[in-house]
Amino acid sequence: MEHTPAGKPNFDWVAPFYDFLAFLVFGHRLRRAQVVFLNQIPTNAHILIVGGGTGWLLQQVLIHCQPNQVVYLEASAQMLARASKRVINHNIAGSVVFRVGDEMSLKPEKSFDVIMTPFVLDLFTEQYLQSGLIPQLQKVLNPSGLWFVTDFVNPRIGWQKLLLWTMIRFFRLTAGIKTVELADWQKLLAESGLQRSKQKGQVSGMVSTEVWYL
């Protein structure tokens, strides 16, 4: 198993109470946002889920999407363990490869029909998204593949700005994220040559669920 690279976010410490915190602040709205376009995933797809946390999205994919295989790539060993346990406890059938690591550990000869990044892009600086994460994931996305993004976007309402500011500071302290403000990941995806086919605002405009393609 790979280990989390030095300087990268690590959610091991918050893994035991991450789901509780998300529910406390947002209820079920973050979960609902992640499954808006699940019906767009083709049957028998090879799927890569990056940073799926404790595995709720993985559970929904296995139940509703009939994938050929899912590679579950998570930098936190504690999150990965919880995701694996969730699948076992719910007796969900499906071919899943659990891997501790990040996008830099992906081999370019391996490709996917679908990539999913649920609340991942908000963890990184604009510079790293542009030079690291986005191009690395593009390398393993099939030419006809789809990239499903669910993530926070810069809000316009005062209380939402305060909430986002608080969340970033909390995860800088607990998980070691480097960003100090939310990157414009939509602009960066477009600049990388990707095109957006679907988009739906969620959580009163704080979150956007989108499908992108090459």
Q: pLDDT by residue for the chain (214 residues), tens digit each?
A: 333 444 578 899 999 999 999 999 999 999 999 999 999 999 999 999 999 999 999 999 999 999 999 999 999 999 999 999 998 887 776 799 999 999 998 987 789 999 999 999 999 999 999 999 999 999 999 999 999 999 999 998 999 999 999 999 999 999 999 999 999 999 999 999 999 999 999 999 999 999 999 9
Q: How many Cβ atoms from other residues are within 10 Å of residue 41's Cβ?
A: 20
What pLDDT score does 2 carry? 39
In a 10 Å sphere around its CB, with 0-12 CB exposed, 13-18 middle and 19+ buried, how is residue 32 labelled?
A: middle
Q: What is the pLDDT of residue 94?
A: 77
Is position 42 within any domain?
Answer: yes
pLDDT of residue 7: 55
Question: Does 169 fall in a domain?
Answer: yes
Domain count for the chain: 1
Residue-number span of the structural domain to which 144 is assigned = 15-213
Quick one: 146 exposed, middle or buried, by C-beta within 10 A (0-12, 13-18, 19+)? buried
6: left (phi over 0), alpha (psi -120 to 50) or beta: beta
Burial of 154 (0-12, 13-18, 19+ CB in 10 A): middle
Residue 45 placed within a domain: yes
Sheet holding 141-152, edge to edge: 96-100, 69-74, 46-50, 112-118, 141-152, 207-213, 195-202
**Residue 79, domain member (yes or no):** yes
Q: Is residue 117 part of a domain?
A: yes
Residue 9 lies in a domain: no
> 164 vs 17, 50, 154, 167, CA distance in Å?
19, 22, 8, 5
CATH number at residue 98: 3.40.50.150
In a domain, 7, yes or no: no
pLDDT on residue 108 = 77
For residue 95, is it within any domain?
yes
The answer to whether the beta carbons of residues 147 and 196 sit under 8 Å apart is: no
Q: How far apart are CA 53 and CA 56, in angstroms?
A: 8
- R_g of the chain computed on alpha carbons: 16
Distance CA 83, CA 75 (A): 12
Owner of token pair 């986005």:
134
Task: Look at residue 107 in the predicted model and tell me its pLDDT.
Answer: 84
CA–CA dist 37, 127 (Å, integer) = 28
